[in-house]
Structure 1
Amino acid sequence: MINNFHKCFAFFLLISQVSFGQNIQNNPGSNHGNKFEQLGTILTTPNEQRTASGAPGVKYWQQRADYNIKCELDEKNLVLKGSETITYYNNSPDVLTYIWLQLDENEHSNLNNANYQNSTRMPSAAATTQVDNMGFVAAPKDNGNGIRITKLTDATGKKLTYTINKTMMRVEVPALKSGQQFVLNIDWNYQIPNRLTLGGRGGYEFFPEDGNHLFTMAQWFPRLCVYSDFQGWQNHQFTGRGEFALTFGNYRVQMTVPADHMVGSTGECINYSAVLSPAQMARYNKAKTSTTAPVEIVTLAEAKVAETKKSTAKKTWVFQANNVRDFAWTSSRKFVWDAMAQPINGKNVMCMSFYGKEAYNLYSKFSSRAVAHTIKTYSDFTIPYPYPVAQSVEAANGMEYPMICFNYGRTDADGTYSESTKNGMLGVVIHEVGHNFFPMIINSDERQWTWMDEGLNSFVEYLTEELWDNKFPSKKGPAYTIVPYMKMSKDLLEPIMSNSENIVNFGPNAYSKPATGLNILRETIMGRELFDYAFKEYSRRWAFKHPTPADLFRTMEDASGEDLDWFWRGWFYGTDACDIALDSVKFAKADYPKAPAGNNRVVGNRPQRVDPPAVNAFEDISKIRNRQDNNIKFYTDKDLAARDFYWKYDRGLVQIDSTLGSKTAAQPNRLPMEEFTDEEKAKYGNKFFYELNFTNKGGLVMPIIVEFTFKDGTKAVDRIPAQIWRLNELKASKFYVHDQEVASIKLDPMRETADIDETNNTWGGSEKASKFQLFKVRAGAGPARGQSVGSNPMQLEKKGE
C-alpha cells in the first residue's frame, strides 16, 4: 500500500514518540569486532520448520482456510450483507480449542475499534465530520459502523461461543486436533463507510455530479488470522496502519449488485456469459489474445450512459479464486473496463483496468499496460506470476489485494494531466500490482514486519519503474533519496526491524530505507548476478508460505556465498548513517637511495631482540582446569619425542645468554639489494604514490567508492569492500600507485551509499609531493613463507655451547 497520509503528515507526528536504535553490539566499548560480528542469537533459532539456510524445513507447516461467501450490495441504504461458510484445516501439530478471526471493519466503529493508542490535539479548524469522529463522551452512542454478527454456528447449526475484542473475534471450537478440519457458518452485515470522510481501505466514494457510487469492498468479511510455527496466533489488533497476516485458501464468492454495475474481483468470474451483454462478451474474448494493446470491454460511451440510467434490477456475479490469502472486489456503474493479455510462463494473464470517465485519458492509455509490464518484470526478478488475472482499479486510493488493487490518478476536467499526475499514477499502479508478489504470494506478516511487505515491494517497484522508462523519476531505491531521512536526529528514528505501530516516520522507514538497502546490496555490495540469483531463490522458497526476516537474511547469504550479517546489522537493526570522510591524502614521488656496501639494505626499522617464551602472560581457567584434570593426558607427556628445545624454553628449563644475541643484532632483517638502472629509474620515476585516510563519522560501515580524476581529465574508480573497516570501524587507509598524477579525488561519486555529508568527500590535489624511498630486491632473495629470519633463542643456545 502507498500510504500518502503518513507521508504528508510524518513531520507533524514526530513529537509523539522518541526511540533509539537497538544496541546489539557484542563489545560496544571497542572500535572493532562489533559491526562485523555475526547476528547469531539475534536471529531466530533454526529448527525443523525453518532451517539455518533460510529454507522451509522438512516439518514446515501452515494452516488453510476455504471460504464460500454470498453477499448483497444495497446501494440505496449503503449496507453490505453476507453469509459465509469457512472450512478451517489444522495442519499444525497442535490441538486448537479456539480460532481467531479478523473484523477489520470495526476500525470504523466508535465502540469496537482498536485505534486507541494515538494522542490527539484540538485543531485550529476542523470539519464537522472530523469532530463527530474524534469526540469522546463517557457513554458514546453507537455510530452504527462495524461488523454485526447475526449468526455463528458449526456445520450442524449448533451455536458457537464467541468473543469480540475490538477488531478480533475469538471463536471457541471443539478440540481441533492436528490433521482435522472444522466448518463454521457466519452471517453478518455492516454499514458501508464513506472512505473519503472516515478513511480506511474499503467503502464507497460518492460522485455528486452524476449521483453514483464507486465501491471498493476490501477487508469486508470475517477472515482467519494466521496461526504459525513462529508466533502462534497473529491476533494483534488492527489500528489502520499495520496491515495483515492471512491464511491461504480457496474462495467461491457470489456478489449480488445492481444490474447495471460492473464488478472486478479477486479471481476469475465463472459466469460472465450471464452478466455481460453479447457485445461485451465478444470484446472480453478478443482481449484474451490481445498482447499489444488493451481492448475496451465496456466503452466510455457505455459507461456514460449507465451513469444516467440507474437500474433497479439485480445481477449476481460469481468468482472463483484458488490459493489466495484474501479477497476483494469493486462495483460501480461508472466503470470503463479494458483488458489485454500478458504471456507469463506459457500462459496469458488477463491484465485489466476499471476506471471512471474522470480518469479516462490516463487509465485507458497506461493502466493495463502498466499492469502487464509489472507482472512481467516482477516475474523476471522473483517467480512467474501464477494467477490468471491482474487488475487495476482507479478509486482515488492506493491499496492491494490478490489479483486486484485500488489506485489513483485522475485528469483535469478537460482531460489533460500534469506529468507528476501521470508519474504518480504509474508509480502507484506498479506498486500496488507488485504487491501480488509481496506479500500476496511471498506471504510475510505485514502486521509485525511492514518492511517485508512494503520495503521488498518498493525495491522491485523501483526495478520495474526503471525498466518502464529510463527517465522515470523513481523516489524509492536510489541511495541519495534516503539521505534526508538518514541524517535526521536519532531520537526521530527507529530501526527497520520495528513494529509498524512504533514508527514515527512510517514511509521512509518501512518503504524507502529497506528498498534502498536492497538496491545498495544489488548494485554496490553484491553485484547484480549474485543478488538476483539469491533474491529469486528467496522468492521461490517462500512462495505461498509465511517467511520471517531471518528466512530472508539467511537465504540471501546461503544462495550468494556472501556474509551479509554486517549489512543486516547496520542497515536493518540500527539507525546509524553512512558518513565516510576523506580526511587526508599523502602524495609522494619515488626516491632511489644508493644500496650500501655488500648490496644489503635494512628494510623497515624493527629493533632486534631475543624472543621470550611464547606463552600467555595470563593462565586462563581452562588451562588450569585441564592441568588439574587427572583424566587429561597431554600429547607431549605421552610421547616424549614430541618435546623440543622450546618445550624446555617455555618452562624456563634452558637459559639463554642474551649478550650473544646482541652481537648479531646489528644485522637484522637485511635483504640483498641491487642498484636501479637508468631505465628502471625512468619507469618508477613516472609513478605517483597516494595514501588515502578515511574516517567513519556516521557509524554505519559501508563500502568506500573512490573516484580519481587525473590531470589529463581521465578517471578511474576503486570500489573498496566494507570489510576494510573490520579491524578498525572508525579509521581506514588505502595506498595507491598510479601512472598519472591525480588532480582530484571524490568519494561515492555516484551517490551509491547514502552518504549524508558530501562536503567531506573530496580532495583537490594541492599537496606538495614528498619523497618515497623505493628499493630493488634481488630476485629470489627473500625468505620462504614460514622460514625463520635472523637470530632466535635456539640459535643463540647453540652459539653459547
Structure 2
Amino acid sequence: MKIVSPFFFIIILHYFFSNLLIAQEYPLQNKFKQLDQEFSSPNTYRTASGSPGHEYWQQKADYDIDIILDDHSQKIYGTETITYYNNSPHKLNYIWIQLDQNVRKRQSLSDLTSTSNFSQNMRLKNLKSLHNDFDGGFKLNHVKDNEGNDLKFIVNHTMMRIDLAKQLLPGENFTFNIKWWYNINETTKIGGRSGMEYFKEDDNYLYSIAQFYPRLAVYSDAQGWQNQQFLGDAEFALTFGDFNVNITVPADHIVAATGELQNSDEVLSTSQKKRLDKAKTSNAPLIIVSEGEAKAAEKKKVKNTKTWQFSAKNVRDFAFASSRKFIWDAMGVHIGGKKIMAMSYYPKEANPLWGKFSTQVVAHTLKVYSKHIFDYPYPVAISIEARNGGMEYPMISFNGIRPEPDGTYSERTKWGMIGTIIHEVGHNYFPMIVNSDERKWAWMDEGLNTFVMGIAERQWDYNNTTWMGKPTSILDYMKRNKTNIRPIMTNTQSIFQIGNNAYLKTASALTILRETIMGRELFDFAFKQYAQKWKFKHPTPEDFFRTMEDASAVDLDWFWRGWFYTTDRVDISLDHVSLFRTNTHNPDIENPIKKTEVAKTPEHIALTRDKETVKSTVQENPSLRDFYYSYDPHKISKKDKAEYEAFLSSLSKEEKTLLSNNYNYYELQFSNIGGLVMPLIIEFEFEDGEKIIARIPAEIWRKNNYTVKKIFPFKKLVKHIVIDPFKETADVDTSNNYWPKKLPVTRFNTNKHIPSTKNNPMQTHKNKH
C-alpha cells in the first residue's frame, strides 16, 4: 500500500476550496465553448462545412394565376392553378397552404392572442382598433384537383391542409385549383404589408398588393412542413417556382409587378413603349408615364378594363401595384454582362423626392449588392411609393416615404427614403434568393440585409451619418433591462423589439465581425461563399455560421454564442495601469532613484503634528546621536560597484542590451463586466503627442473570461490610454475605458418651455424667399 502524506491532503483541500471561491465569484461559463451541442448533426443534405450536401433537395411550386382588381368595391378576385413538385425522398399524404390574408379575418388568431390594456391617456388610434370590424380574410369558393373534383381540406387559421386522395410519391407532381376573393384593407387606417391607400383629394386609390393568393408552405429536410401560424409580425417561408400571372385592372391603371411584362403592346401606348425601350440604354432615369399623364388619368376615370400579363421564373413569391396615379420612370443598369431595368412608380404626392432619387437608389443598390454578394439575377428591380411602411417581394418593393405637401423635405426624410429603398430592394438577395425561413429567424434576412444596406448607404453618400449597422446605434438597446430582451436566436414571433434585435443588433454584430474581428478580406470572401452556396436554396442559421468559419479559418463559436445565443453585452473596463522599469543593478542609476523615492514618501500627519508641538529627546540631548544620523544608505560604495561589475560579467550581450534600453513596461488590467468577450482595441498616447493602436484578439479571454492582464513595453512615457477609441465594439459603458479616468460631462435642460419646430430647413428657406 502506498502511503500518502497528510500534506498532500492539505494541498488538495486548499485547491478545492480555492476553486469553490472562484466558482462563487464567477459563474462556471466558458465563453469559448464550441457550439457542437447547439448545432444539428451534419448529414447528406447539409454538411459540416455549411454547404448543401450531395443529396440536398427542395420542392417546387408553379403558379398560373388570374386576378381581378375591383376598383369600385376594393376587392381582389382570384383563381390559381398550382403544380406542386415533390422532389423530396418522402411520400406525402397532404400539403400545407399559407392563407396569410386570414390574419385580417374577424376573430383571427392574431387578434385573439394580441395583448391590450388601458392607460390614463388612451390614444384614439388604439381605441379605434378595439372597434375594428374589418374582415379581410380569404373567402374560398373552391379547392379542386386538376379534373375538377373537390379536394378535402381544413383551414386552421392562416394555414390550410389539403388531404391528397393518394400519396404524392417522390418525383411526382400534383396539380390543383383554388378560387377565392377578399376585401382589400386600407393600410393608412388599419395597417398591413399589403393593401390600398385612398386619396380623398382626387378620389383615387393606390393598390400595393401582396400575400393575395394561397401560397405553398415550405417542406424541407431541416424541419418538414413549415406551418407555423402567421400572426402578423414574422414574415414568410416560401417555395421557389415559376409564375404566370394575369392582372385585370381599370384600363387607365398602370401596373408594376414581379417579373417581366409580357403584353406591353396591349397595355402601353405607343409613346410609352418607345420611352421604355429608350430607358433600357439610358444612364439616367427616363420618364415612361409623366406626372401630367398621371394627373389626367386621375381626373378622367374609365370604366373598361385591361389585363396585364407578367411572367417570373424561379421566384419564391409574387406581388404587384396598381393605380391610375402612377408616375413611372426607369433606367438600365449593367450588371454581370446583362442589362437590368431599375424602375420606380409613385404618385405626384411623392415628387420631387422620388423623381430625383428613387430609381437612382435602386440602381446603386443593385451595383453594391452585386459586388458583395452575387450578380443580380432577375431582369427588373422596382421601387413603389406606397404607404405600407417598407416591404419586399421578388423584383418589387413598397417604400412609403413622401415629402411635405409643399414639396419640401427634411434631411431625415431624405435619408429615410434612401435607406428604405436600399433596404427593401436589397431584400431581393436576402431572403428572396438566399431563401431563409423568415417565420423562424428574422435575423437571417433582416439582419444580413441591414448589414449590407449599411455598406450601400455609406457608399451612396459619406455625409449620411445614420447608416445602418453602426455599432454605436445598438448601445441603448444593449444596456437595457434584460427582462425585455431576447437572444437573436429566438423565434421571430417571440422577439421583443424586433427592430433592435433582428435588424440592428445582427447588423452591428456583422459590422464588428467584418471590421474588427475578421478583417474585410476574410469576412467578404466567407460572406460571399455563404450567399453563393445558398442562392435559390433554403439555408438555416447553422449553414451561415458554419460557412463563415469554414471559409475563413477563424473559430467564431465564441462570437456566435455571445452575440446570437445570449443577451450579454459588451462592457470591458480598463481597471488598472501599472508602470514597471527594469532594475539595471547599476548603483549610479538605481541609488539616486531609491533616494528620490524615499524623499517623496509623505510624512504621516501624526509625526508632523508632533514636530510642531514637542521636541524629541534626541533634539534636546544631541549626545544621543550615533553613526546612523550621518549615514547615507544610498551613497555609492566600492562594494556596490564591485557587485555591479560582477553582475555585468554574468550577462550576455542581448541581456545587457535589454537592461540598457530602459523600457517603460505598462501592465494593463482589464475586466469583462458585460459578459460578451471582445477584442481589445487600445490607443496609447505618449507625452510627445504620438498615438499608436494595439489590437488584441478576443482569444486573450480564453483562459479567463472575466479578468486579463497584458504588458506593453514602450521607450516613451504614456500620457493617455483609451479602450475602443473608434467606438467599434458596441461597448455600452465607455466611462471605464480611460486612463487616467475621464470625468464625463452631462448637459441638462432648464425647465423653461421652448416650442418645438419641425427640422425642415428646406421649407423654412422656401418660406423666407
Aligned residue for 2:715? 739
- SS of residue matched to 2:302: coil
1:73 and 1:256 in contact (8 A); partners too: yes
CA distance in 2, matches of 1:348, 1:329: 22
| Distance apart, 1:414 and its partner CA | 1.8
CA distance in 2, matches of 1:193, 1:474: 33
CA distance in 1, matches of 2:170, 2:150: 23
CA distance in 1, matches of 2:697, 2:293: 61
Aligned residue for 1:717? 693
1:492–1:673 CA distance, 2 compared to 1 (3 A): farther
| Distance apart, 1:679 and its partner CA | 9.5
- SS of residue matched to 2:201: coil
- Aligned AA (1:400): E
| Distance apart, 1:33 and its partner CA | 6.6
| Distance apart, 1:195 and its partner CA | 1.2
Give the 5 Å matches for 1:334-349: 334-349=325-340
Structure 2: gaps of 5 or more residues: 1-22, 588-646, 743-769
Aligned residue for 1:220? 212
| Distance apart, 1:737 and its partner CA | 0.9
1:684 paired with 2:661, answer yes
Give the 5 Å matches for 1:475-554: 475-554=467-546
1:114 and 1:167 in contact (8 A); partners too: no
CA distance in 2, matches of 1:90, 1:674: 80
CA distance in 2, matches of 1:295, 1:278: 16
CA distance in 2, matches of 1:714, 1:289: 53
Match of 2:139 among 148, 172, 186: 148
1:391 paired with 2:382, answer yes
Give the 5 Å matches for 1:112-123: 112-122=108-118
- Aligned AA (1:176): L
| Distance apart, 1:503 and its partner CA | 1.3
- Aligned AA (1:346): G
| Distance apart, 1:740 and its partner CA | 1.4
1:269 paired with 2:245, answer no
CA distance in 2, matches of 1:270, 1:277: 14
| Distance apart, 1:145 and its partner CA | 2.4
CA distance in 1, matches of 2:684, 2:432: 46
Aligned residue for 2:303? 312
Give the 5 Å matches for 1:590-601: 590-593=582-585
- SS of residue matched to 1:488: coil
- Aligned AA (2:722): K
Aligned residue for 1:632? none
Match of 2:650 among 664, 673, 686: 673
Q: Deviations over 1:399-420 (max 9, x none)?
A: 0000000002211122111111
| Distance apart, 1:519 and its partner CA | 0.5
1:415–1:121 CA distance, 2 compared to 1 (3 A): same
1:113–1:492 CA distance, 2 compared to 1 (3 A): closer
Aligned residue for 1:470? 462
Share of identical aligned residues, percent? 51
Aligned residue for 1:459? 451
Give the 5 Å matches for 1:153-232: 153-173=144-164, 174-232=166-224
1:506–1:671 CA distance, 2 compared to 1 (3 A): farther
1:526–1:84 CA distance, 2 compared to 1 (3 A): same
Aligned residue for 1:110? 106
CA distance in 2, matches of 1:737, 1:747: 17
- SS of residue matched to 2:454: helix
Aligned residue for 2:728? 752
1:728 paired with 2:694, answer no
* Shift >6 Å, 4+ stretches: 27-33, 125-129, 675-679
- Aligned AA (2:684): F
Aligned residue for 2:51? 55
- Aligned AA (1:716): I
- Aligned AA (1:168): M
- SS of residue matched to 2:177: strand
Match of 2:350 among 356, 359, 365: 359
Match of 1:330 among 321, 326, 345: 321
CA distance in 2, matches of 1:554, 1:432: 27
CA distance in 2, matches of 1:330, 1:48: 42
- Aligned AA (2:411): E
- Aligned AA (2:83): T
CA distance in 1, matches of 2:224, 2:147: 28
2:83 and 2:174 in contact (8 A); partners too: yes
Match of 1:702 among 658, 675, 678: 678
1:403 and 1:436 in contact (8 A); partners too: yes
| Distance apart, 1:742 and its partner CA | 0.7
CA distance in 2, matches of 1:28, 1:66: 60
TM-score (norm 1): 0.80
CA distance in 1, matches of 2:738, 2:240: 54
CA distance in 2, matches of 1:37, 1:671: 48
CA distance in 2, matches of 1:192, 1:671: 93
- Aligned AA (1:742): V
1:435 paired with 2:434, answer no
Aligned residue for 2:244? 252
CA distance in 2, matches of 1:746, 1:283: 59
Aligned residue for 1:651? none
CA distance in 2, matches of 1:28, 1:421: 52
Structure 1: gaps of 5 or more residues: 1-26, 137-141, 596-669, 767-801
- SS of residue matched to 2:721: strand
1:201 and 1:399 in contact (8 A); partners too: yes
1:32 and 1:728 in contact (8 A); partners too: no
1:741–1:132 CA distance, 2 compared to 1 (3 A): closer
1:203–1:379 CA distance, 2 compared to 1 (3 A): same
Q: Deviations over 1:645-703 (max 9, x none)?
A: xxxxxxxxxxxxxxxxxxxxxxxxx9983288999589513x22111110111111000
Match of 1:83 among 71, 79, 83: 79
1:32 and 1:726 in contact (8 A); partners too: no
Q: Deviations over 1:228-286 (max 9, x none)?
A: 11111111111110000000000000000000000000000011111000000000000
| Distance apart, 1:359 and its partner CA | 0.8
- Aligned AA (1:583): D
| Distance apart, 1:590 and its partner CA | 3.2
- SS of residue matched to 1:509: helix
- SS of residue matched to 1:395: coil
Q: Deviations over 1:552-611 (max 9, x none)?
A: 00000000010000000000000111111101111123331269xxxxxxxxxxxxxxxx
| Distance apart, 1:159 and its partner CA | 0.5
1:112 and 1:165 in contact (8 A); partners too: no
| Distance apart, 1:741 and its partner CA | 1.0
Aligned residue for 1:784? none
CA distance in 1, matches of 2:341, 2:235: 27
2:152 and 2:163 in contact (8 A); partners too: yes
- Aligned AA (1:510): A
| Distance apart, 1:118 and its partner CA | 2.1
TM-score (norm 2): 0.83
CA distance in 2, matches of 1:28, 1:490: 22
CA distance in 2, matches of 1:484, 1:425: 24
- Aligned AA (1:412): E
2:259 and 2:313 in contact (8 A); partners too: yes
- SS of residue matched to 2:551: helix
CA distance in 2, matches of 1:434, 1:358: 25
2:458 and 2:467 in contact (8 A); partners too: no
CA distance in 1, matches of 2:379, 2:182: 31
Aligned residue for 2:395? 403
Match of 1:233 among 225, 229, 243: 225
Q: Deviations over 1:413-442 (max 9, x none)?
A: 221111111000001000000000000000
1:411–1:753 CA distance, 2 compared to 1 (3 A): same
CA distance in 1, matches of 2:574, 2:121: 51
1:308–1:126 CA distance, 2 compared to 1 (3 A): farther
1:132–1:150 CA distance, 2 compared to 1 (3 A): farther
- SS of residue matched to 2:581: strand
1:761 paired with 2:737, answer yes
| Distance apart, 1:473 and its partner CA | 2.4
2:582 and 2:659 in contact (8 A); partners too: no
